[in-house]
Amino acid sequence: MRKGKFLSRFSGYLFLLPYLSLFGTFLLLPVCYGLGLSFFRWEMLSLAPPRFIGFGNYMEAFRTPYFWMALGATFRFVIMIVPLVVIGALVVAAGINALPGRFQALFRAAYFFPTIISISVAGILWRWFFNTEFGLFNALSGLAGFKAPWITDVNWAMKSIVFMTLWWTLGGPMVILLAGLRQIPTQYREAAAIDGANALQRFFYITLPILRPVLLFVVVMSIIASFQVFGQTFMITRGGPELSTRVLMQYIYETAFTNYRIGFGAAMSWLLFLVIALFSFVQFRIIREG
CA–CA dist 212, 203 (Å, integer)? 12
Torsion sign (Cα): 118, 119, 122, 128: negative
E strand or H helix that includes residue 115: none
Report residue 140: phi and psi, to 5°: -75, -45
Cis preceding-peptide flag for 241 (omega within 30 of 0):
yes
**Could you read off the pLDDT of 33-66 as tens digits, one per residue?**
989 999 999 888 777 888 899 999 999 999 999 9
Q: Is-contact 207 185, C-beta < 8 A?
A: no
Residue range 163-195, pLDDT digits in tens:
999 999 999 999 999 999 998 888 888 888 888
How open is the CA angle 62-63-69, to the nearest 5 degrees? 75
- Please state which architecture CATH assigns to domain 61-289: Orthogonal Bundle (1.10)
Collapse the DSSP code of 214 into the 3-class scheme (helix H, G, I; strand E, B; otherwise coil) and give the result.
helix
pLDDT tier at 8 (50, 70, 90 boundaries)?
Answer: low
In Å, the largest CA–CA distance within the chain is 84
The pLDDT of residue 95 is above 70? yes
- pLDDT band at residue 1 using 50, 70 and 90 as cut-offs: very low
| DSSP H or E stretch at residue 223 | helix 208-227
Check: CB of residue 164 under 8 Å from CB of residue 234. no
pTM: 0.89
DSSP β-bridge partners for residue 51: 41
- Asked if 245 and 239 touch (Cβ cutoff 8 Å), the reply is yes
**pLDDT tens digits along 147-161:** 889 999 999 999 999
Compute CA distances 47 → 38, 43, 140, whole Å: 19, 8, 55
